[in-house]
Amino acid sequence: MIKLYEDRLDLDGEEKIYIRAIRRNYSTIVPFISKNKVLVIRSYRHLIDSIQLEAPSGYIEEGESPSQAAERELEEETGYKAKKIVSLGYYTLDYSMFEQTGNIFAAYDLANNNIEGKRRQALGKMEKIEIDIVTVEQIKELLYQGKILNAASIVAFHKAIAFHEQNIIDI
């Protein structure tokens, strides 16, 4: 999942070793269910031994576009599909060491994929995810307090909320 490289660079006549890594690109999607409410996930994260509030996110699979990955992750992690998905751009977490792009999307007009009244998540073996609905103001407060720790979610929430508040979206 991570490829490491050592590049030898000539910097002003002195050889330096530059270590870099390549990780798979990913997509993060912020699903709005109303003008002031967002569907979020609460995911157990082993490295910090806690449940974290996040936006649905995951790696882009071979042959998928960033938007297809966002749609898939939304459905797998929440059991919902979006009829409208808006691309909000991309970013890199650390271009000094990693080659990896994070793609950001906002989702609107959600539909539950329930069968016989039950929402269907398609979680991986290592995923323990619950869904929740929070207000935009609650997310802003959690961001301000530093309570959202996942960098992909931090960037996605900031960009998606800014887009959402600047654009009139029919929900």
pLDDT in tens, 107-142: 999 988 665 555 565 555 556 778 899 999 999 999
Q: 24 CB contacts (<8 Å, ≥6 apart)?
A: 1, 59, 60, 100
Each residue's pLDDT expressed in tens, for the chain with a length of 171 residues: 789 989 999 888 899 998 999 999 999 999 999 999 999 999 888 888 888 899 999 999 999 999 999 999 999 889 899 999 999 999 998 888 888 999 999 999 998 866 555 556 555 555 677 889 999 999 999 999 999 999 999 999 999 999 999 986 655
Question: What is the chain's alpha carbon radius of gyration, rounded to the nearest angstrom?
Answer: 18
Entry pTM: 0.86
CATH number of 24-166: 3.90.79.10
Nearest to 64 by CA among 50, 78, 76: 76
Domain boundaries, the chain: 24-166
Which value, to the nearest 10 degrees, does the dihedral of the CA atoms of residues 76, 151, 32, 78 take? 20
